Structure 1
Amino acid sequence: MSDLEAEKALAAKRAVDEIQDGMLVGLGTGSTANYVLKYLGKRVAAGLRITAVPTSRMTEALARELAVPLVAFGGLSSVDLTIDGADEIDQNLQAIKGGGGALLREKVIAAASARVIAVVDSSKVVRRLGRFPLPVEVFPFAAEFVGARLADLGVPVSLRLQNDDPLLTDHGNHILDVAFGVITDPQQTALAIAAIPGVAAHSLFLSEIDTIIVGRDGAVDVRHADRS
């Protein structure tokens, strides 16, 4: 296991320790979230009584393999705790997510959660967001229009492909990846993208994350958002 993979695993294990009996838990998507599922599966097998809601079909499949009890989000309005990864996160706990293509459901479940924990390795902590291309989920019929409006922001925009065809999200949408390089004003950028008709979701998580757990050099660093 590489150093970064070990950091992911260590941070994920620490995050799973936050889960208590009776909780409804949101399960993130991606490589770090897979470690969360692994440790959660072990705790469930040892007697932890929880239910969980997945943010993607991929996460749902792995959770079922690990015998983690699942419920559909469609009948829910709130979640006790969500644990997910991040593609980038800054010191203010503002993040870019969605590299795994599940940003719409990740955003909805995060918004419904009483608490959100982001679990990352040390390489994901940045001074300023934007090095990782910002995913934007769009309705297919509006992809060209949205792409042109995003390009008007002065940044490269690319349609995410899979086997030379547009990648389809779990909701049948397309993803545009926007290469900002540096996002100087995340709040204004989020507002500008959200205002474009045809956007289903953008992957700037600016106020949803309450706690960050970073794996670093064989230890974990836990920090909480300052809401004052």
Structure 2
Amino acid sequence: MTSIATNLQAVNARIAAAAKACGRMPGDIQLLAVSKTWPAECVAEAADAGQRAFGENYVPEGSDKAATLAERQLTWHFIGPLQSNKTRLVANAFDWVHSIDRLKIAERLSAQRDVGRPPLNVCLQVNVSGEASKSGVAPEEVAALAQAVSVLPGLRLRGLMAIPEPTDDLSVLKQRFGQVRALRDALNGEGMALDTLSMGMSHDLEAAIAEGATMVRVGTAIFGARA
């Protein structure tokens, strides 16, 4: 097997082991391969090994790859910060957007999604660790934003996304991920039907899965370290 195929096998084994450790089914956790900065050839290699969902952080790069590999019918997720002047391209080049943190961005995506296309799946990004340098809505503002986004045409609010501060302290990680899960559960208790918790990356996917992640975003462990 190629190195990407081997790495994918290893990551899927980690996901399965983490799920088993907390009494969950591995099939309930989707692997999102983060392919930012890697060429379309590497994405194709991962696709040949069975990977179907890919995450991109940069609008022109991601949309170009989606167009280049369109015949493979992959699922494309935009996971980076999104500026309002880039929403038109994202609205139709991607199937998911994980980084909604203000209503203006959601409204633009809703208005710019082509009529006749399936709704754009979206997640709200929560700044769960309160870092000033990080995108995301404050936890106490999630409910109001969720209510506003959930009624926009052309969008389907699926859940929450978070990127906690990097730390080797497992208890801190689990606390952060658990807070995101609690926010999702509270929204569902108010009548929503959110099914997605996008949280966990190469270094902390086990902690995220233990706290309920349904989608883990893994780049380095699949494609290698970026230059």
What TM-score do you get using the length of structure 2 for normalisation? 0.31
- Indicate the structure whose relative CO is greater, using CA pairs within 8 Å and at least 6 residues apart: 1
If each structure's strand is expressed as a fraction of its own residues, which one has the higher value?
1
What TM-score do you get using the length of structure 1 for normalisation? 0.31
